[in-house]
Structure 1
């Protein structure tokens, strides 16, 4: 996968817009958000995407994000926080409650480093965002070599990140997939980050300018022509 759209169930998206996203050339979808999450809204969005054969990932930040029929679940592990609630605390409590029923083969964990101090997710998780490139690289190596996480996700959450930092991270990962998300609002920015990250995630621009969002998926189609 090179490109994923991330959809927030707390935000309204017309059916015809979802149809355009499905046929954009993207490789799949993440359903996820930070606040105002309700199971009914998650179900409605999942149903809108049901016409596609592309993978649909539910990013479980809250119990409302759990749909039994879903094929793929992402479990965020925030690495750059000192609040253990967001590294393993909530995870343990959910496992304690539902462990016998968790479909482990459908679950993928992702090591998050959140870098926009003004983002809701940074404030919620108490993420330490004033990191040097060396700090981010150390987290990447921690994710791959200590925790053996399948995904390392650098998330600027609404703010376009530093391409040089992203490049440096890409050079130290070999087995762990490198995902980048944050502030991609144009075809050019998508292409820039796609040079380094295995997968880019496009989110906010979907709700600001759908046509520009659709263009971010076309760069991969063009490379195959």
Structure 2
């Protein structure tokens, strides 16, 4: 797996457009968002995407995202949050309420490091984005060696990131997979990050320049 499209339930794409995404050569889809999440919209989007034959990951950032049937559920822990809610607090509440229904073999925890201070996700999670490459490397090492997380996610949501930061994480990881998301709008940008990260995630450009979003798949093929 090298390429995923991230679909926001709070935004609209025609069903035919989603079908074209499935035919593009991408490896699958993430359904996730930071605000404006409604369970009905999540369910409708999931039904559309699940019928296309590719893996569908649901990122559980809100109760509205608790929809059965996903290939896997992604549980984000914001490692550089200054608010314990986004590190373990929200997770505790979800498990307390829904623990008996959680399909644990299909849950993957993502260790997020959010680096764009203007991103809604950074503001919501109260992320400390004023980090050096050494800081990012340390978070990656914690994800790999202390928390044994399957995924370390360098997130620049809305802007294209600094490849030196991504490389700093890459240098620390052996078993933990490195995912990158944020600001990929061109094939060149997709190729640059795919040469460092195990998986690139393409999201916002879907709603800004759909045809360009399709082209990003070619960077990993």
Q: TM-score when scaled to structure 1? A: 0.96
**Moved beyond 3 Å, runs of 4+:** none
Give 1:215's aligned residue: 215
Give 1:87's aligned residue: 87
Give 2:97's aligned residue: 97
Give 1:110's aligned residue: 110
* 1:210 Cα offset (Å): 0.5
Q: State the alpha-carbon separation in 2 of the partners of residues 168 and 127 from structure 1.
A: 19
Q: Determine if contact 2:137/2:171 at 8 Å carries over to the other structure.
A: no
* 1:16 Cα offset (Å): 1.1
Q: Does 1:180 align with 2:180?
A: yes
* 1:177 Cα offset (Å): 0.2
* 1:72 Cα offset (Å): 1.1
Give 1:24's aligned residue: 24
* 1:54 Cα offset (Å): 1.3
* 1:187 Cα offset (Å): 0.5
Q: State the alpha-carbon separation in 2 of the partners of residues 151 and 23 from structure 1.
A: 26
Q: TM-score when scaled to structure 2? A: 0.98
Q: Compute the RMSD of aligned alpha carbons.
A: 0.8
Q: State the alpha-carbon separation in 1 of the partners of residues 169 and 91 from structure 2.
A: 26
1:64-143 paired onto structure 2 within 5 Å: 64-143=64-143
Q: 1:109-134: per-residue Cα shift (whole Å, max 9, x none)?
A: 00000001011111110000010000
Q: Secondary structure at the match of 2:175?
A: coil
Q: State the alpha-carbon separation in 1 of the partners of residues 120 and 168 from structure 2.
A: 26
Q: State the alpha-carbon separation in 1 of the partners of residues 167 and 102 from structure 2.
A: 36
Q: Secondary structure at the match of 1:49?
A: helix
Q: 1:148-184: per-residue Cα shift (whole Å, max 9, x none)?
A: 1000000000110001221222121100000000000
Q: 1:71-107: per-residue Cα shift (whole Å, max 9, x none)?
A: 3100000000121100100100111111112110111
Q: Secondary structure at the match of 2:116?
A: coil
Q: State the alpha-carbon separation in 2 of the partners of residues 39 and 72 from structure 1.
A: 18
Give 1:146's aligned residue: 146
Q: 1:33-86: per-residue Cα shift (whole Å, max 9, x none)?
A: 000100110011111112222110000000110112223100000000121100
Q: Secondary structure at the match of 1:18?
A: helix
Q: State the alpha-carbon separation in 1 of the partners of residues 169 and 132 from structure 2.
A: 12
* 1:137 Cα offset (Å): 0.4
Q: State the alpha-carbon separation in 1 of the partners of residues 219 and 196 from structure 2.
A: 14
Q: State the alpha-carbon separation in 2 of the partners of residues 41 and 218 from structure 1.
A: 30
Q: State the alpha-carbon separation in 2 of the partners of residues 85 and 18 from structure 1.
A: 33
Q: State the alpha-carbon separation in 2 of the partners of residues 94 and 146 from structure 1.
A: 23
Q: State the alpha-carbon separation in 1 of the partners of residues 177 and 201 from structure 2.
A: 13
